[in-house]
Amino acid sequence: MNWAAVGRLRGVRLRDLPYSLYERRLTSWLAGKPRPAHVGVMVDGNRRWARDMGYIDPNDGHRVGARRILDLLGWCDEAGIAHVTLYLLSTDNLSRPAAELEPLLRIIENLVGELAAPGNPWQLRTVGALDLLPAQTAAALKAAAEQTVGRTGGAQVNIAVGYGGRREIADAVRSLLYEHARAGGTIEELAEVLDVDHIAEHLYTKGQPDPDLIIRTSGEQRLSGFLLWQSAYSEFYFCDANWPDFRRVDFLRALRSYASRQRRYGS
């Protein structure tokens, strides 16, 4: 028997024990407390994690981070969260060098394929400008969404790829104008009746509640274009951990923070 290995394993278990106890305590505290119906997650810090861990290829961070997304969705299902939006790739990210971007796109394609696999409960929806993506990536996202239509038992998961908040608002207004033109209306007529609900009905997330809680990892405290319209009254939780290090206890802390706040919706 390798006693050194046994000792290391015991050491890991002993280090995990306080977190296990803390998780139980948080779970107990959250019982009966308000829960967000929709959580947006900015999975930030994958490359920094890879660098800090000594990996040469930064995409190793994205690969580990993709596995963490599966954990997150399981935690959301346990918490009864109905909608989750994952910010995986922005429109700005599409300008990265091909040597960096293409492996990341393959990781995203593999991830959505795994999320859509039979036996998983999640219904996927793509939010973003698919026309900006390579054909292979756009096809993978469309196929995953089609494969999961009508699924129940888990969260509805928005996959934000090729996403930009400003682009979404521009697309919504464009869609609204086309719809009005097809109905034979004039710009002047639309201007007289236009309100925020008209635009909201043409967003990528139409038909879904706005996010109650937005989580961003890696210590950054900015939106970076994520759900600009929908986040008007969202609560925010910023976590210092890089995404691959995000644990269930961090998720429970975010829920505790949300439950402790008095939401005023601008009043």
pLDDT, one tens digit per residue, over 27-38 is: 999 999 999 999
Give the pLDDT score at 10.
Answer: 54
Give the pLDDT score at 264.
Answer: 81
Q: Is residue 186 part of a domain?
A: no
Q: Is residue 10 part of a domain?
A: no
Tell me the two tokens of residue 139. Answer: 């096809």
Contact indicator for 238, 220 with CB cutoff of 8 Å: yes
DSSP-derived secondary structure letter, 245: G
Closest CA to 88 of 239, 251, 248, 243: 243
- Average pLDDT for residues 68-90, to the nearest whole number? 98
Tell me the two tokens of residue 150. Answer: 């009508």
Per-residue confidence band for 265, with pLDDT thresholds at 50, 70 and 90: confident
Domain hosting 81: range is: 33-163+213-259
Q: Is residue 240 part of a domain?
A: yes
pLDDT tens-place string over residues 187-205: 999 999 999 999 999 999 9
- Distance between CA 48 and CA 58 in Å, rounded? 8
Those residues with Cβ within 8 angstroms of residue 260's Cβ, 6 or more apart along the chain or in another chain: none
Q: Is residue 102 part of a domain?
A: yes
Contact indicator for 133, 162 with CB cutoff of 8 Å: yes
Give the pLDDT score at 19.
Answer: 75
pLDDT higher at 14 or 223? 223
Give the pLDDT score at 160.
Answer: 98
Q: Is residue 56 part of a domain?
A: yes
Active site includes 120?
no
DSSP letters, 89-104, are EETGGGGS-HHHHHHH
* Helix, strand or coil, per DSSP, at residue 160: strand
Residue 117 belongs to domain with CATH number: 3.40.1180.10
- Distance between CA 60 and CA 86 in Å, rounded? 19
- Distance between CA 4 and CA 17 in Å, rounded? 20
The neighbouring-strand residues paired with 124 are 157
Neighbours of 1 (CB within 10 A): 5
Give the pLDDT score at 6.
Answer: 44
Per-residue confidence band for 9, with pLDDT thresholds at 50, 70 and 90: very low
Query: Of residues 2, 57, 59, 93, which has the active-site annotation?
Result: 93
Q: Is residue 98 part of a domain?
A: yes
Q: How much of the chain exceeds pLDDT 70, in percent?
A: 93
Count how many domains the chain has: 1
Active site includes 93?
yes
Given a cut of 70, whether residue 267 has pLDDT beyond it is no
Q: Is residue 7 part of a domain?
A: no
For 180, phi and psi rounded to 5 degrees?
A: -65, -40
Give the amino acid at 144: A
pLDDT tens-place string over residues 66-76: 999 999 999 99
Q: Is residue 46 part of a domain?
A: yes
Tell me the pTM: 0.91
Give the pLDDT score at 11.
Answer: 54
**For the purposes of burial, counting CB atoms within 10 Å of the CB of 217, is it exposed (0-12), middle (13-18) or buried (19 or more)?**
buried
pLDDT higher at 198 or 5? 198
Give the pLDDT score at 13.
Answer: 56
Summary count for the chain: helices (H), strands (E): 9, 6
DSSP letters, 138-158, are HHHHHHHHHHTTT--SS-EEE
Given a cut of 50, whether residue 1 has pLDDT beyond it is no
Contact indicator for 84, 38 with CB cutoff of 8 Å: yes
Tell me the two tokens of residue 28. Answer: 């107990």
Query: Of residues 44, 60, 212, 245, which has the active-site annotation?
Result: 44
What is the average pLDDT value for the chain, to the nearest integer? 93
How far are the Cα atoms of 17, 199, 255 from residue 211, in angstroms, in the given order?
A: 33, 17, 13
Place of tokens 């990265």: 96
pLDDT tens-place string over residues 198-237: 999 999 999 999 999 999 999 999 999 999 999 999 999 9
Task: For the sheet with 123-127, list strands across it.
Answer: 123-127, 156-163, 83-90, 38-42, 213-216, 235-238
The neighbouring-strand residues paired with 161 are 89
